[in-house]
Amino acid sequence: MTPEAPRIQTATLPRNGTPGAAASVREAGRTEIPELARVVNLAYRVEDFFINGDRTNERDIADHLEHGRFLVVGPAGGTLAAGVFMSITDGRGYFGMLSVDPAHQGLGLGRLLVNEVESRAAGAGCTAVDLVVVNLREELPPWYHKLGYRETGVSPFPDPAKLKMPAHCITMSKPLAPSRAGAITQEVTP
């Protein structure tokens, strides 16, 4: 595990349709496992057409925390707006379960979290960041292309028993330039 980078990402969340207070990206605590599972499952409802059941559960989130961390947007102990799992292994960053509560989608929170993952990975000396998407989520590769990610491989879906139709995984990667190690600030407004 690498030392935690300073919180450098901020976003503005709306409150009842009006501009809200700035929120920063922070590391989630173990007490937030139920809330993390809720946000991930809510965000991944779009996969119901090809997945049986929830995307994750509290045990899965706890297992992930043994190998990395979750970065989140939302008050500690409160309702989370967004989250992402990240880990660093052998000089490469990885992120998965990028999740934005549907009530907060379209505000740039996904991009905000990806920026934070990239910044932390670069700060830890990583040369690249990897992610995995399911081929049936056809909207995802173009979104990640805009962020500089490219397809680097394919693999079988890890739990075929959960599938309603055939699917496979696509690995995408983005090289990190040495200059990425500096602070990145992005203001996101509705």
pLDDT digits (tens, 9 = 90+) for 83-130: 999 999 999 999 999 999 999 999 999 999 999 999 999 999 999 999
The whole-model pTM stands at 0.83
Per-residue pLDDT at 147 exceeds 90: yes
pLDDT digits (tens, 9 = 90+) for 158-178: 999 999 999 999 999 999 986
Q: 183 falls in which pLDDT band (50, 70, 90)?
A: very low
Across the range 76-89, mean pLDDT stands at: 93
Across the range 135-164, mean pLDDT stands at: 97
For residue 24, the surrounding DSSP H or E stretch is strand 22-27
Q: 8 falls in which pLDDT band (50, 70, 90)?
A: very low
The pair of structure tokens assigned to 161 is 């028993």
Query: Mean pLDDT highest for which of 64-68, 72-76, 181-185?
Result: 64-68
What residues contact residue 96 under an 8 Å CB cut-off, 6+ apart? 84, 85, 131, 132
Alpha-carbon torsion (9, 174, 40, 44), positive or negative: positive
SS3 label, residue 68: coil
Q: 50 falls in which pLDDT band (50, 70, 90)?
A: very high
Written out in words, the top-level CATH class of the domain with range 10-126 is alpha beta
Residue bearing tokens 């045990």: 59
At 75 the pLDDT is 85
% of the chain at pLDDT higher than 90: 77
Specify the amino acid at residue 145: H
pLDDT digits (tens, 9 = 90+) for 11-22: 555 444 434 455
Q: 78 falls in which pLDDT band (50, 70, 90)?
A: confident
What does DSSP say about strands 92-100 and 69-73: parallel, antiparallel, or unpaired?
unpaired
